[in-house]
Amino acid sequence: MWEQIRSNQRKSSILVVVMAFLLLAIGWFGGEGFYGPGGGTGGLIVASIVWIFLTLISYFSGDSIFLSISGARKIKREDHEVLWNVVEEMKIASGMARMPAVYIVDDPTPNAFATGRSPDKASVAVTTGLLERLTRSELQGVIAHEIGHIRNRDVLYMMMIGVMIGAIALLADIGVRMLFFGGRGRRRTSSEGGQAQAIIMIVSIVLMILAPIIAQIVYFAISRKREYLADASASQFTRYPEALASALEKISGSIRKPSKDAEKVNRIIAPSYIINPTLAARGNGEKANLFSTHPPTKERVRILRAMASGAGVGDYDVAFRQVTGNPVGVIPFRSLETAEKVEIKKPDEIPSEKHIDRVRQSTDAIWRLNKYTFIPCDCGTKLKVPPKLQGQRIMCPHCGGKHDVSSWL
Amino acid sequence: MGWVVLIVILVVIFLPLGWLIAIYNALVRLRNAVKNAFSQIDVQLKRRYDLIPNLVETVKGYAAHERETLEAVTKARQQAIDVSGLDSVKDRARVENMLTQTLKSLFAVSENYPDLKANENFLKLQEELTTTENKISFARQFYNDSVMELNNKTEMFPSNIIAGMFSFKQAEFFEVEEEAERKAPEVKF
């Protein structure tokens, strides 16, 4: 298990270095190409500054920006006990030292994501739609997947690589603009060295066009692989792959076409969700291409259901190879060597669990987050009082009993 | 020439030393992980002891004639508390598993009482106990994984040499007994 995380970290560091080279190459060639010999240094400096600046921002406030864009609200245990408990259970199962912050997004579309640069500073967010649709054990599967991302350090690396892609795209954009609108006048036009200059120019143009595309393809490939790994971790933590499988089916089955506003938000957050909402809505959940952030949901479900021998990451690897026909597998070799037998264990169902109760719990959580006061009336009605009625006396609409709003704070 | 010899000597001395330190530290880390994982189980077991009296009281109000089941739960809880001071993981595992079984039958019985199931306090307790049961089983899962890793390290070459030198002991698994799992709890009065 932990071998796998370390091996991932090594691979990701290599990727970060490669991307950094690509970024600096763009800077150098760009400067050299558009400002003539010697311009490369300036280009390098610009590229580094853009990169460092973006990295610092995303490292220190990436998660809070992310959470605020998605409209996530931080909850306490009382706000939604089941969700809090499930997160705590998965925290224990994964051996994390600290409880991640828990967030709820008021959105009927079921989805979930994790963020935070390290396991100690992690956050898990789920939508109200998810809370309403999934059973407790399905919710556990989804949370386990997110905790898997956190434990595998996916969030940090995907963020760092995402920033790099952003920087590359930005520089390429600046370069293309300069090509058409500026810089030209300052370019040296003497005949000697003109040929070398022309070559550099061509290289830089090619780089500007190709680099962003290459970077994205690499990013998406890594992202897909990490989704599989998080699924494998989820199964290892819960010991019950079926829960995640049926949760994935429910989520992908109920994603509708997002609104215009949601679409904008989704472009930033989509890759982090457990199922990419923009792609799922376009019916792309079945086939992955070079530009998919997530593997096809149907395949993920099939792999989880094919785990017959056990619930460990090793068993996931066997199922993965069987379903995809990919002989390499998805789990790094060294973690398989030490993988022990992990038996599948069906959790006890809670017989009295009902859809209506889940809806009530999640709407109650939103009421509470909006600072509504809950007043239980003697007639059995639960009054939800908006914050502006604070300090007033109100009447129960059912029995006419009077209540002081402040006394129930 | 002299330099080369010196470097070779240094490498010969320091390389194994560094390797020894690395293995020793890995063993210490694992031992602490096992200890820490066990305390996680302990926290949840204590939480369960605290929840049970409340649950028994609530159920009594609605299903007083399920006396046998209620008493079995109370008895199993007391037994578990009695051995909780012991060091033997095996003994503790046995009684705790028994307590889990009696609780399961209590919840199964409560299904027959619609009024009880509608009681808000009962629902709260049910969620609390469900999560505590889950936490116990996940903490145990993580503990057993840690124990497995430690035990492997103390047995496998070459780390077993260092484990022997500094007397790292094997840890005990916290097992779910198949027997207890399958058999319904016997209650005699």
pLDDT tens readout for residues A329-339:
777 654 554 44
* A50 in any annotated domain: yes
Q: Residue A329 and residue A334: Cα distance in Å, rounded?
A: 12
Question: With 90 as the cut, is the pLDDT of residue A326 above it?
Answer: no
Mean pLDDT, chain A, rounded, equals: 80
| Beta bridge partners of residue A17, listed in sequence order | none
* B169: three-class secondary structure by DSSP: coil
The total of other beta-carbon atoms located within 10 Å of residue A182's CB is: 11
User: Is beta strand A123-127 parallel, antiparallel or unpaired with respect to A373-376?
Assistant: unpaired
What is the percent of chain A with per-residue pLDDT over 70, rounded to a whole number?
Answer: 81
Please report which residue ranges of A71-118 form alpha helices under DSSP H: 81-94
Residues A356 and A385 in one domain: no
Question: Which residues partner with A103 through β-bridges?
Answer: A74, A125
One domain, residues A37 and A184: yes
Same domain? For A259 and A396 the reply is no
Do residues B110 and B130 make contact, with C-beta atoms less than 8 angstroms apart?
no
Q: Are residues A377 and A341 in the same domain?
A: no
DSSP state of A75: -
Residues of B near A (Cβ–Cβ under 8 Å) read 33, 37, 40, 44, 104, 111, 117, 123-124, 126-127, 130-131, 133-135, 137-139, 141-142, 145-146, 148-149, 152
Nearest to A389 by CA among A404, A369, A370: A404
Summarised one tens digit per residue, pLDDT across range A60-88 is 888 888 888 888 999 999 899 999 999 99
**Above 60 in pLDDT, residue A33?**
yes
> Where residue B181 falls among pLDDT bands split at 50, 70, 90?
very low
pLDDT at residue A156 tops 60:
yes
B134–A94 CB contact, under 8 Å: no
Please indicate, yes or no, whether residues A170 and A28 belong to a single structural domain of this protein.
Answer: yes
Confirm whether A84 is domain-assigned: yes
- Where does A79-184 show beta strands of DSSP type E? 101-105, 112-115, 123-127
Q: Are residues A134 and A13 in the same domain?
A: yes
Residues A107 and A138 grouped into a single domain:
yes
Asked if residue A252 and residue A279 are part of one domain, the reply reads: yes
B14-63 confidence digits (pLDDT tens)? 888 888 888 899 899 989 989 888 888 889 989 999 999 988 888 888 88
**Is the domain of A398 the same as that of A301?**
no
Coil, helix or strand at residue A129: helix
| A136–B130 CB contact, under 8 Å | yes
In this prediction, residue A248 carries a pLDDT of 92
CA distance B25 to B27: 5
**CA atoms of A165 and A169, how far apart (whole Å):** 6
Which residue in B113, B134, B149, B178 has the most chain A C-beta atoms within 10 A of its own C-beta, making it the best mutation to test that interface? B134
Is the peptide bond prior to A277 cis by the omega test (within 30 degrees of 0)?
no
- Quick check: is A220 in a domain? yes
Within a domain: A272: yes
Q: Are the C-beta atoms of residues A347 and B138 closer than 8 Å to each other?
A: no
- A266 and A400 assigned to the same domain: no
Domains contained in chain A, number: 2
A3 in a structural domain: yes
Domain housing A379: 371-408
State the catalytic residues of A. Answer: 146
Is residue A294 pLDDT above 70, yes or no?
yes
Does the complex come out with an ipTM higher than 0.90? no
Query: Do A306 and A394 share a domain, yes or no?
Result: no
Distances (CA, A) of B103 to A273, B76, B178: 37, 9, 17
- CA angle, B45 as apex, B36 and B113 as ends, to 5°? 150
pTM, to two decimals: 0.82
- Check pLDDT > 70 for residue A268: no
Q: Is A366 among the domain residues?
A: no
Q: Per the CB < 8 Å rule, is A93 touching B141? A: yes
Which comes out higher in pLDDT, residue A401 or B140?
A: B140
B117/A113: higher pLDDT: A113
Distance between CA atoms of A171 and A20, rounded to whole angstroms? Answer: 13
Residue A77 lies in a domain: yes
Whether A237 and A157 share a structural domain: yes
A187 part of a folded domain: yes
Mean pLDDT (chain B, rounded): 84
Residue A409 has pLDDT above 60, yes or no: no
